[in-house]
Chains A and B, each alone.
Chain A
């Protein structure tokens, strides 16, 4: 009789349920299986109505984020064997987001905020095609490369108590991605972004809990990006006294 592990999975169907509940499933405990494999097994063989997001199954698309035993994790990168034998593993939808159904959460708040910070190269002056490419040194790339690794999995939002308590907070990933562009030598949009960033719902809402950095599967260190931006924004505040800027 092959060994099994018990998964306690959140089920929530808005037509039926007033609130989510946990359903138990026995799943084969294979040493090379990740949580996503277990979920796929359940959907394939046990209950086809189990609903969850996943795609690349290799930790790059950011779709499969869920809470595993209370920790935000990419389920495609979380091995069943990493958990204590004999104890059930609890799978819940990503924290601090509204639950749509079972393990699927509503992420449009994050998408809206990401768009607000303008995560693309902003130029005051576009170069003509004839002038050639924008050049960047390896050191220039190095200064923002870490923040470019973000896969928008929103595990950091599930870890951030500030976002949980007050969802108007722009949040770690959006701020880290804003910094990724602010620090790109080809970008000229730092001032435009500042209105959203140097704002109580932007960086000033962050209290450097640091959980976002701890749970990030791509080692982006959004907490570090935010603190660095705070210094920049604070200096800018002082500068605006010494050299008041005119109306844009």
Chain B
């Protein structure tokens, strides 16, 4: 029998395995993969929100005029669009985070596992409550 000489694909007793390289666009291959990557990219918008907050603190530091200029620039169409996008992605982060948290934080009462919704729901309620509190603190006065 003819044993392998290069460049044969078949070496006796050592068949050549086929390994498919994963494409850079693997995440476009399915709905769940795409949603996963969008969830991960939401962290960019979290970072942008921090940048906005730091810019806001900077403006506050330099007086009322600086702050109203900050507000003025936030009204620009580009920043408004970015704001809407940021809100969408950060809300997406919150929703996916609270939905996934029960998978990591399992609670057992009397040996039986508490259903996931019973852990997720208090988180969502807490989110609404905290948001309302902050809005109230900022707006009153």
Q: Is the CB of B111 within 8 A of A142?
A: yes
Q: Is the CB of A100 within 8 A of B17?
A: yes
Give Cα distance in the complex from A16 to B35, angstroms: 40
Which stretch (A118-126, A169-177, A208-216) binds chain B?
A: A208-216
Binary contact track A200-229/B, C-beta < 8 Å → 1, others 0:
000000011111001000000101100110
Q: Is the CB of B32 within 8 A of A138?
A: no
Interface positions, chain A 6-25, Cβ under 8 Å from B, are: 12, 14-20
Chain B residues with CB under 8 A of A224: 103-104, 106
In the complex, B100 has a CB within 8 A of chain A: yes
Q: Is the CB of B26 within 8 A of A165?
A: yes
Q: Is the CB of A230 within 8 A of B104?
A: yes
Instruction: Please name the residue on chain B nearest to A106 by beta carbon.
Output: B17
Give Cα distance in the complex from A101 to B14, angstroms: 12
Q: Is the CB of B104 within 8 A of A14?
A: no
Q: Is the CB of A142 within 8 A of B103?
A: no
Chain A residues with CB under 8 A of B15: 14-15, 100-101
Q: Is the CB of B18 within 8 A of A20?
A: yes
In the complex, B5 has a CB within 8 A of chain A: no
In the complex, A70 has a CB within 8 A of chain B: yes
Chain B residues with CB under 8 A of A231: 104-105
Give Cα distance in the complex from A211 to B110, angstroms: 30
Q: From B36, B106, B110, give the contact of A228 (CB < 8 A).
A: B106
Interface positions, chain B 81-111, Cβ under 8 Å from A, are: 100, 103-106, 108, 110-111
Binary contact track A57-75/B, C-beta < 8 Å → 1, others 0:
0000000000000100000
In the complex, A139 has a CB within 8 A of chain B: yes
Give Cα distance in the complex from A139 to B112, angstroms: 8
Q: Is the CB of B9 within 8 A of A210?
A: no
Instruction: Please name the residue on chain B nearest to A213 by beta carbon.
Output: B103
In the complex, A88 has a CB within 8 A of chain B: no
For the A-B complex, the count of residue pairs with Cβ-Cβ distances under 8 Å equals 74
Chain B residues with CB under 8 A of A100: 15, 17
Chain A residues with CB under 8 A of B16: 14
State whether A209 and B104 are in contact (beta carbons under 8 Å apart), knowing that A99-B17, A139-B111, A142-B112 are contacts in the complex.
no
Interface positions, chain A 226-244, Cβ under 8 Å from B, are: 227-228, 230-231
Instruction: Please name the residue on chain A nearest to B19 by beta carbon.
Output: A98
Q: Is the CB of B18 within 8 A of A15?
A: no
Give Cα distance in the complex from A211 to B34, angstroms: 12
Binary contact track A7-51/B, C-beta < 8 Å → 1, others 0:
000001011111110000000000000000000000000000000
Interface positions, chain B 41-88, Cβ under 8 Å from A, are: none
Instruction: Please name the residue on chain A nearest to B111 by beta carbon.
Output: A139
Chain A residues with CB under 8 A of B108: 139, 143
Chain A residues with CB under 8 A of B103: 221, 223-224, 227
Give Cα distance in the complex from A230 to B106, angstroms: 13
Chain A residues with CB under 8 A of B112: 142
Q: Which residues does B use to contact A, with CB under 8 Å?
A: 9-10, 15-20, 22, 26-27, 29-30, 32-33, 36, 40, 100, 103-106, 108, 110-113
Pull 11 A–B residue pairs with CB atoms less than 8 Å apart, ordered by A: A14-B16, A15-B15, A16-B9, A96-B22, A98-B17, A98-B18, A143-B108, A161-B27, A207-B36, A207-B40, A231-B104
Q: Which 7 A-B pairs have the closest CB atoms?
A: A139-B111, A227-B104, A98-B17, A15-B10, A99-B18, A224-B103, A14-B15
Q: Which residues does A use to contact B, with CB under 8 Å?
A: 12, 14-20, 70, 96, 98-101, 106, 137-139, 142-143, 161, 164-165, 207-211, 214, 221, 223-224, 227-228, 230-231
